[in-house]
Amino acid sequence: MSTDTDGEFEFDGSAIERKRLYGKVFLGLCVSAAMVGIVALIALLADVIYESWGWLTWEFLTYPPSQVAEHFDPENYGALDTGPAGMYPAIVGSIYLIVLTAVFTLFLGVGAAIYLEEYAPDSRLTRFIEANITNLAGVPSIVYGLLGLAMFVRALQTGASLIAGALTLTLLILPIVIVSSQESLRAVPDSMRQASYGTGATKWQTIRNVVLPEAVPGIMTGIILSLSRAIGETAPILMVGAAVSMFTPPDLTSPTGAFSAMPMMIFEWASQPDAAFQHIAAAGIVVLLTILLLMNAAAVLIRNKYDRRA
Amino acid sequence: MSDETGDRRTGLRSTLASVGSDRGRFAIGNLLSTNAETTGMTANSGSKAAETTAAERTTDAGADSGAEMSAADRPLGSPRVDDAIIESRDLDVFYGDTQALQGINMDIPEKQVTALIGPSGCGKSTFLRSINRMNDLIDVARVEGELHFHGKNIYDDDVDPVALRRKIGMVFQKPNPFPKSIFDNVAYGLRVQGKDDDIEEKVHQALERAALIDEVEDKLDESGLDLSGGQQQRLCIARAIATDPEVILMDEPASALDPVATSKIEDLVEELAQEYTVAIVTHNMQQAARISDKTAVFLTGGHLVEFDDTNKIFENPESDRVEDYITGKFG
């Protein structure tokens, strides 16, 4: 801002250099902010992998748990009457839980989103519903756990069952799925709808043939990411009453039976005083994280496959 | 300034005159043509309406047969035509509290090209979209008055807008092919309307009539989005004509295209007018002059100011405002 009276052009731009320094400092701050996330993730992964090293075996994936830490130790496998111990029922329980949740979420979430985006009039009521769905997305998961306990386990008499867990998790992720599905539907250009109506298509034909095919990749990505959140949720299934000492996997054909789930097992092991259980919990975490990262990878793949801009 | 305008006007007029004489189109105006047989829509509208559209009109052209046109809102020129397929009577359109069209009274003649011109926001697109009830899709849009298609008011309760749109196809301003193959794009209308017997032949035919077949014959299963802008628009025209509607509405179909693609679209429009009724909105007055038989001039506020034969509008309009607009003094 100096008054440059001689009218000569300053080629070295020393006045600009100061401003440029601010820019560099700002860039440095932004880069460190970004690094915090990456460093935290790497530290977490490194720690659990280090802790679980030697404990994560094929037997760990395929055998039921035990109360005794030694049963998990691969060195003792040969000497055990009961056979090795692992988290097989919890892995199966979590997968069943996610499958059921996915089915419920698909119908309820996408159905609600289609109604709100394509059919609902732009009224005060619609906006009220939409605002509340967004609010629901921010409700803590423990509250959904209590709701599931009161509504499904007690009122609907499902007991501490697979279906109660799945319904509770559905309630938990439903708002996120609705909002992300709505966004995918909204992203379908209106010109596509108009083109369809212009050729004499009905509303249903337009939604079925034009809107949904365009929106499905986005909807699927939203659902998978929500499900990978659900599979790691502990509080709701804790409230609903997932079992920690199940020795047989739950049965998908009897969804009112008891169930176990991976986060529940990890929580249980991590709260044991015996130090060996810390390694077992770490092994459980690695299994859970692997499934979770695989689900996220699937979401990314689906998005890339259908993204026409790519 | 005024000299310059005068020159431009003379220039435009002479261009128009030459266009007119070259093509020999303006004088024809196929007066007593064949519209008695095309009354598919009117099955349940009663025979009375069907009679008024065809038979009586020929004897007393311009007089008050057919649907009544109120004197107050009558635009300048000759808003009545002899072989009208679409008759707009006191048509008002509102978007919320804003009135976008003010008592539009005009006819659209069968198997001719009717151009709707006017400055931005004058309501010409709104009028076009009220012909196939696309305005129904806008929550706040409200239509009053009557719009007759084959003598039947399409805003009657018993008219299904989807059935109407199967008779009145539409081509939009920006090419909007579906992200599907070229074949599926053209087949879309046929499939949704359940006309999917001999689908290959119909698609082929539509692409041929849209003057696109030579460019896409070998790549029918490639995406319609991979075509150039002009090709995409002809694809959209093929999609609109594949189901064989009676009327094709075009909302500035060439405004997003380069001059070469534009001239192809214009040639196509003239071709289509032999089989279809075409109503085309355009910003480009030369385009309206080149391709249309009738021209409606909308000016600000949703008023239809003048409607007449295209050469009359461009050479000797009754309204001074229309003359000013056409000669480029405003708009």
pLDDT digits (tens, 9 = 90+) for A34-73: 999 999 999 999 999 999 988 888 888 888 888 888 888 8
pLDDT more than 90, % of chain B: 51
Q: Of A135-139, B63-67, B96-100, B268-272, where does mean pLDDT reach its minimum?
A: B63-67
The C-alpha of B173 sits at a distance from chain A's nearest C-alpha, in angstroms, of 10
What is d(CA B89, CA B159) in angstroms, rounded to the nearest whole number?
Answer: 17
In a domain, B251, yes or no: yes
Q: What per-residue confidence (pLDDT) applies to B274?
A: 92
The two tokens of residue B317 are: 């309009």
Q: Does A189 touch chain B (CB under 8 A)?
A: yes
CB pairs under 8 A between A and B: 68
Flag whether pLDDT at A284 surpasses 60: yes
The two tokens of residue B260 are: 């070469």
Q: How confident is the model at residue A19 (pLDDT cuts 50, 70, 90)?
A: confident
Compute the average pLDDT of residues B181-201. 92
DSSP H/E element including B296? strand B294-299
Q: What per-residue confidence (pLDDT) applies to A240?
A: 86
Flag whether pLDDT at A132 surpasses 60: yes
Give every CB contact of residue A146 below 8 A, 6+ residues apart in sequence. A239
Q: Of B46-50, B114-118, B195-199, B323-327, where does mean pLDDT reach its minimum?
A: B46-50
Flag whether pLDDT at B52 surpasses 80: no
Q: What per-residue confidence (pLDDT) applies to B27?
A: 37
Contact B178, A195 (CB under 8 A): yes
Q: Does B240 touch chain A (CB under 8 A)?
A: yes
Compute the average pLDDT of residues B179-194. 93
How much is the mean pLDDT over chain A? 88
Q: What per-residue confidence (pLDDT) applies to A307?
A: 66
Which of B166, B171, B172 minimises the CB distance to A200? Answer: B166
Q: Does A195 touch chain B (CB under 8 A)?
A: yes
Q: Is B179 helix (H, G, I), strand (E, B) or coil?
A: coil
Q: Does B264 touch chain A (CB under 8 A)?
A: no
For CA atoms A130, B178, B248, B154, give the dihedral sign.
negative
Compute the average pLDDT of residues A182-188. 94
In a domain, B75, yes or no: yes
Flag whether pLDDT at B2 surpasses 50: no
Best-predicted range by mean pLDDT (A39-43, A83-87, B134-138)? A39-43
What is d(CA B61, CA B81) in angstroms, rounded to the nearest whole number?
Answer: 7
Q: Do A194 and B134 touch (CB under 8 A)?
A: yes
Q: What per-residue confidence (pLDDT) applies to B56?
A: 43
User: With a CB-CB cutoff of 8 Å, which residues 109-138 of chain B face chain A?
Assistant: 132, 134, 137
Q: What per-residue confidence (pLDDT) applies to B28?
A: 37
Q: What per-residue confidence (pLDDT) applies to B147?
A: 93
| pTM, two decimal places | 0.77
Flag whether pLDDT at B244 surpasses 70: yes
Flag whether pLDDT at B81 surpasses 50: yes
Of B279, B242, B83, which is closest to residue A200 (Cα–Cα)? B242
Partners of residue A205 in chain B, C-beta under 8 Å: 192
Q: What per-residue confidence (pLDDT) applies to B66?
A: 54
CATH number for B21: 3.40.50.300
Q: What per-residue confidence (pLDDT) applies to B201?
A: 93
Compute the average pLDDT of residues B207-218. 90
Q: Does A201 touch chain B (CB under 8 A)?
A: yes
Contact B169, B245 (CB under 8 A): yes
Contact A65, A87 (CB under 8 A): yes
What is d(CA B132, CA B247) in angstroms, rounded to the nearest whole number?
Answer: 9
Flag whether pLDDT at A181 surpasses 80: yes
Partners of residue A214 in chain B, C-beta under 8 Å: 179
Of B304, B329, B331, B325, which is closest to residue B114 (Cα–Cα)? B304
DSSP H/E element including B98? strand B98-109
How much is the mean pLDDT over chain B? 80
State which residue of chain A sits closest to B170, comparing Cα positions.
A198
Q: Does A205 touch chain B (CB under 8 A)?
A: yes
Test the A interface: residue of B128, B135, B166, B176 with most A CBs within 10 Å: B176
Alpha helices in chain B (DSSP H): 2-23, 47-51, 57-59, 124-131, 161-167, 182-192, 199-209, 213-216, 229-242, 259-272, 285-291, 310-315, 320-326
Domains and CATH numbers, chain A: 88-306 (1.10.3720.10)
- Domain hosting B88: range is 2-326
In a domain, B129, yes or no: yes
Of B12, B28, B177, B9, which is closest to residue B113 (Cα–Cα)? B28
Q: What per-residue confidence (pLDDT) applies to A2?
A: 52
Q: What per-residue confidence (pLDDT) applies to B190?
A: 93
Q: What per-residue confidence (pLDDT) applies to A308?
A: 57
Q: How confident is the model at residue B295 (pLDDT cuts 50, 70, 90)?
A: very high
The C-alpha of B67 sits at a distance from chain A's nearest C-alpha, in angstroms, of 27
Q: What per-residue confidence (pLDDT) applies to A26?
A: 95
Q: Of A8-22, A38-52, A198-212, where does mean pLDDT reach its minimum?
A: A8-22
The two tokens of residue A250 are: 């739950």
Q: What per-residue confidence (pLDDT) applies to A71?
A: 84
The two tokens of residue B183 are: 């074949």
Q: What per-residue confidence (pLDDT) applies to B71?
A: 63
Q: Of A94-108, B38-52, B299-313, where does mean pLDDT reach its minimum?
A: B38-52
User: With a CB-CB cutoff of 8 Å, which residues 209-238 of chain B face chain A?
Assistant: 225, 236
Q: What per-residue confidence (pLDDT) applies to B126?
A: 92
In a domain, B29, yes or no: yes
Flag whether pLDDT at A3 surpasses 80: no
The C-alpha of B166 sits at a distance from chain A's nearest C-alpha, in angstroms, of 5
Flag whether pLDDT at A241 surpasses 60: yes
Flag whether pLDDT at B59 surpasses 50: no
The C-alpha of B314 sits at a distance from chain A's nearest C-alpha, in angstroms, of 31
In a domain, B331, yes or no: no
- The C-alpha angle with vertex B94 and arms to B90 and B99, in degrees rounded to 5, equals 80
What is d(CA B319, CA B305) in angstroms, rounded to the nearest whole number?
Answer: 8
Q: Do A195 and B236 touch (CB under 8 A)?
A: yes
In a domain, B133, yes or no: yes
Compute the average pLDDT of residues A142-160. 89
> With left for phi above 0 and alpha for psi between -120 and 50, is residue B37 left, alpha or beta?
alpha
The two tokens of residue B299 are: 């000016």
Q: What per-residue confidence (pLDDT) applies to B283?
A: 87
Which of B163, B179, B189 minimises the CB distance to A199? Answer: B189
Total domains in the fold of chain B? 1
Cβ neighbourhood burial of B65 (10 Å; 0-12, 13-18, 19+): middle
What is d(CA B175, CA B253) in angstroms, rounded to the nearest whole number?
Answer: 8
Q: Do B172 and A195 touch (CB under 8 A)?
A: yes
Q: Do A198 and B134 touch (CB under 8 A)?
A: yes
In a domain, B25, yes or no: yes
Test the B interface: residue of A118, A194, A199 with most B CBs within 10 Å: A199
State which residue of chain A sits closest to B164, comparing Cα positions.
A200
How many residues comprise chain A? 310
The two tokens of residue A243 are: 């079992």
Q: What per-residue confidence (pLDDT) applies to A82?
A: 76
Compute the average pLDDT of residues B95-113. 91
The C-alpha of A202 sits at a distance from chain B's nearest C-alpha, in angstroms, of 6
Q: What per-residue confidence (pLDDT) applies to A202?
A: 94
- The C-alpha angle with vertex A43 and arms to A40 and A48, in degrees rounded to 5, equals 125
Q: Do A194 and B139 touch (CB under 8 A)?
A: no
Partners of residue A216 in chain B, C-beta under 8 Å: none
Q: What per-residue confidence (pLDDT) applies to B37?
A: 38
Measured in whole angstroms, the distance separating CA B312 from the mean position of its chain's CA atoms is 19
Flag whether pLDDT at B42 surpasses 80: no
Q: Does B71 touch chain A (CB under 8 A)?
A: no
State which residue of chain B sits closest to A306, comparing Cα positions.
B179
What is d(CA B114, CA B318) in angstroms, rounded to the nearest whole number?
Answer: 18
In a domain, B57, yes or no: yes
What is d(CA B261, CA B278) in angstroms, rounded to the nearest whole number?
Answer: 19
Cβ neighbourhood burial of B32 (10 Å; 0-12, 13-18, 19+): exposed
Which of B139, B178, B243 minimises the CB distance to A122? Answer: B139
What is d(CA A198, CA B172) in angstroms, rounded to the nearest whole number?
Answer: 9
